[in-house]
A and B are shown apart, each in its own frame.
Chain A
């Protein structure tokens, strides 16, 4: 393979990735008249025209969307970490009957695609009275999380059990061992889970769309989705709204690149 072909293919692929995003970025700064008069590849005349962003932010109630997303994200993440590390502690540090069965049930559940069971899950969430409350999204993000438990188990197995035993000889209870020894050593795994799960929750569309129907409960995805109805003909405003949703992802990616790569690899291959 010649060098030129290699770089040419890389540049072509980069263009295919970037051009669709850049044109939306352009459109977000155009006035309505300008949008209609110019082609999509023409940069905006005035880069300081933030009118569309203002409209999108206020009319799309993006602040509310970010707030709801953040609340759901923080509670679900904390819950996932607590529930997951506790379960992993039981599995990697205790011997008990039916352990293989329990592990197997977690593994099989990982194979069930979440979208397929929503028909029946909806009835359960409804019977709990959680539909149209943030609680529905939170319990579902907690309850459908098997990969995190898996990552925790694998990481915990690399922590030498002699540490636990030494602490227990000093009189520490099982819970103290978990709280004071295991949990602090689990930081890298917790970071991995927080990142992949955080991205997944931020991007999740189906669960909030199905369970958080009230406009007051809009998260980022559903706020953007609902925005299209009334503004269907004003692409420059939709473009601005789309950019508002993408921006935090860009920032997170630039700051956390290495963790994200590692987390994605760990999460998908388990």
Chain B
């Protein structure tokens, strides 16, 4: 209801514009969100049921052919298995990060220096990391030299050229790059556990191991579970490291590298969209399962 203008108004007046004012503030963000996230997802689902080269004005309806091909043609589903290497590697990553987060949360000399060193790789440019490791893995490169130094000379091999080991080398690079992130997240979570709890535990006669098991691990359960989710969706969508280092050669083609080639080199937009939809569904499913297992009690929006 509008008031007659003559009536003296209270200080904070509901203005006429009020109903749509919040939408004005939201407009830029919503427009971007819809244009660059929701419309593409919708289009992608649409493309996935068609055959299209990305240029033609018309597209051929293809039914579920693209999905059948993604799920049955070995060339397409096999790349999913490559994620397994990165997934296993991410367990190593979480274990290493947890170990260092725990020991650095207790008194340690040069604590900040070690923290900085362990974290630093995460900040580096992906292409630079790719090149650093291409150099490291070269025949007679750094890795081979170090192995010879420590007397393991007979174990040198073509780290990136041998299909049996190339994925392990790449997954190792990924561990090197991302351990720092998990480490800093764990360390932050451990430090947010109030100090009195440790003191109380010490009075009760708990040793370090007891403290780790009964205070630290339960205290950072949420961030550990979040790391596993990031690990799963991260290992399914690996792109930069294999694309930069091997270009997908020697059996290192991951799902996203394959989708990239299908879409932008072979111009099979429909097929690539079907791949992307499958990946998206898997990631959403995993996230949903995680939310069910570990309820996200800290989300306090609205």
Contact = CB atoms under 8 A, between A and B. Distances in A.
Given A144-B37, A168-B12, 20 more contacts: A1-B103, A10-B100, A10-B104, A20-B142, A40-B135, A86-B25, A86-B26, A90-B22, A116-B279, A116-B283, A117-B44, A118-B263, A119-B272, A120-B41, A122-B263, A142-B32, A144-B36, A168-B11, A220-B125, A253-B123
Nearest to A268: B185
A102 B119 CA distance: 35
A234 B237 CA distance: 32
B44 A253 contact: no
B33 interface: yes
Nearest to A265: B188
B118 A253 contact: no
A91 B30 CA distance: 12
Nearest to A249: B123
24 contacts: A10-B103, A10-B104, A14-B114, A14-B118, A20-B135, A90-B26, A91-B301, A96-B19, A100-B302, A105-B33, A111-B283, A118-B263, A119-B47, A120-B47, A165-B12, A203-B124, A221-B125, A239-B135, A242-B131, A246-B125, A261-B188, A264-B122, A265-B184, A268-B181
Interface string A42-56: 000000000000000
Given A18-B117, A40-B145, A205-B127, A117 B37 contact: yes
Interface residues of A, number: 93
Contacts of A178: 25
A86 to B, nearest CB: 5
A143 B44 contact: no
A37 interface: no
Contact of A249 (B100, B125, B145): B125
B121 A221 contact: no
Contact of A102 (B26, B136, B272): B26
A137 interface: no
Given A10-B108, A13-B118, A17-B118, A224 B100 contact: no
B119 A261 contact: yes
Interface string B13-28: 0000001011111101
